[in-house]
Structure 1
Amino acid sequence: MQKRAEQTRQAIVRATAELIGDDGPGAAGLVDICRGAGVSRGALYHHFATKEAVVVAVHTQARRKATALVDAAFGDALSDPLDTAAFTALSRFGSALGRALSDDLTVRAGLQLDPDGSADPARRLRQEVLSAVHRRVSGLLPPDAPGAPGPEGQDLADLAMVVVAGLESLGRTDPAWWSPGTSDRVWRTLRRLFTDPASAPDDTVTPREPGE
């Protein structure tokens, strides 16, 4: 009996994740959730106090999975050579996130939600993941890298956030952006910036005046 109850609960969460993952948080209406899960309203309210509680459950599961992706990608980075650790971890994370977004509706939906189950842009799980990547990259950069902690700022850590966010957003209209091949190709292109500080643009060059 308990196993069946858990199966019903997970069916409701999956149906909600599918609606949000494909069409955004506004698509998860009560009737649509019940239809997708194959349950009545009464059955849904037996397992969740409100519809919003179902959406919170999607966020909770997605957060756990996304945190595991970050930890897995960056967890072994300290065993890599210092000059390649950030790049290697980013490559691992980019490929893993792309696969999760492509194959796991919970992750795809959950990144669009905040802890309360709404979609406040400043509090979405997407922002939490990007901030975590930024911190991890900053901690792995060699001291002489443009993005290393110090007065030069966080150039490469910022770039990492831009690339991860861009691939995540682009994939929502064209899933090809989430393929491991695309992620690997993008990070290979950027490899020199993360492994060879001398190749970074020199922002001390005086800009040319018009007509020169």
Structure 2
Amino acid sequence: MQQRAENTRQAVLLGAAVSFEKHGYGTASLSTILAHAGVTKGAMYFHFSSKEELAHAVIDAQHQLAMDGVRTITAQVPRALDAVICISQEMARQLLEEPMARGGMRLTLEIGSMQGPVQRPYRDWIESIQLLAARAAEEGDLATGVDTEALAAFVVGAFTGVQTLSEVLHGRADLYARLSDMWQLMLPSIAAPAALERTRALALCEPRDWSVSEPEVGVSA
């Protein structure tokens, strides 16, 4: 029974994410959410009391998906600057392949404009990048004098802008290419000379699915 209830909850969340992505928070209705979820109204109300509660649950699920990727990459990629690049690529992959990520991303912007900023996902992402940037400096992969706090905020802000422009102009069809361009422009300013060739090559690689076990990325020294 517990597993069935969890399956139903996940179905409602996924249906809500798809509906919010397609219609936006203001236009999406409970009927469209139910249609995408394939559950009854009673089943939905057993887990969520309102559209607003559902929207925040989708944002939380998207945030969890993103942070799971951050933790996996941080644990598997030996060099911290490489991990920062891989995290941005994983965020792009999630936006292209995961309805929860797309629904949550749209909601973060729309809910924030109506009810005040949704800050936690961005703050957690910035904090994770800052920790990696500090480690990258210790590993000698950052150029001398790079402010790791400013770098973390800039990386998150740049990615947010790149993915938004890619969505508006091309439905995110060119997201990987635009993300690669972002890194090719940024890395000469932030990477130490010894790390530049390696990191620029990594930024050109096709993103991988980090839920699938593969050999470590990058080099250990």
SS of match in other structure, 1:142: helix
- Give the partner amino acid of 1:108: R
Q: 1:90 aligns with which of 69, 84, 87?
A: 84
C-alpha separation in 2, matches of 1:24 and 1:130: 24
Kept in 1, the 8 Å contact 2:84–2:129? The answer is: no
What SS does structure 2 have at the residue aligned with 1:39? coil
For the pair 1:109 / 2:106, whether they are aligned, the reply is no
The one-letter code matched in structure 1 to 2:103 is A
Name 2:165's counterpart in structure 1: 170
Which AA in structure 2 matches 1:142? A
Q: What are the superposed Cα offsets for residues 23-66 of structure 1, whole Å, 9 maximum, x if unpaired?
A: 43223321211222233322321332333332232122212111
Give the whole-Å Cα distance in 2 for the aligned partners of 1:16 and 1:156.
Answer: 34
Within the candidate set 179, 182, 185, 1:183 is matched to: 179
Contact 2:126 2:152 in 1 (8 A): no
Cα distance in structure 2, aligned partners of 1:138 and 1:32 = 43
Whether 1:156 aligns to 2:155 is: no
- Measure the CA separation in 1 of the matches of 2:13 and 2:155: 31
- The letter of the residue matching 1:22 is K
The structural deviation recorded for 1:100 is: 0.1
Distance 1:32 1:126 in 2: 26
Q: Once superposed, what is the RMSD of the aligned Cα atoms? A: 3.0
In structure 2, what is the Cα distance between the partners aligned to 1:76 and 1:19?
34
How far the C-alpha of 1:14 sits from its partner, in A, is 0.9
Q: For the Cα contact (< 8 Å) 2:12–2:44, is it kept in 1?
A: yes
Highest RCO, 1 vs 2 (Cα 8 Å, sep ≥ 6): 2
2:13 corresponds in structure 1 to: 13
* Kept after mapping to 2: 8 A contact 1:138/1:147: no
User: In the TM superposition, what is the alpha-carbon distance from 1:137 to its structure 2 partner?
Assistant: 4.6
Percent identical pairs in the alignment equals: 23
Q: State the distance in 1 between where 2:74 and 2:3 align.
A: 35
| Runs of 5+ unmatched residues, structure 2 | 194-221
Q: Give ranges in structure 1 of 5+ residues lacking alignment.
A: 198-212
Q: TM-score, normalised by structure 2?
A: 0.67
Structure 1: which 4+ aligned runs deviate by more than 6 Å? none
SS in 1 for 2:117: coil
Distance 2:178 2:98 in 1: 18
Give TM-score scaled by structure 1 length. Answer: 0.70
Per the alignment, do residues 140 and 68 of structure 1 end up closer, same or farther by CA in structure 2, a change over 3 Å counting? same
The alpha-carbon deviation at position 122 of structure 1 amounts to 2.5
Greater per-residue helix proportion: 2
Q: Which residue of 2 aligns with 1:35?
A: 35
Count of paired positions: 184
Task: State yes or no: 1:99 paired with 2:89.
Answer: no
Deviations 1:107-140 (A, max 9, x none): 12223446xx943452245523542354235423
Residue aligned with 2:167, SS: coil
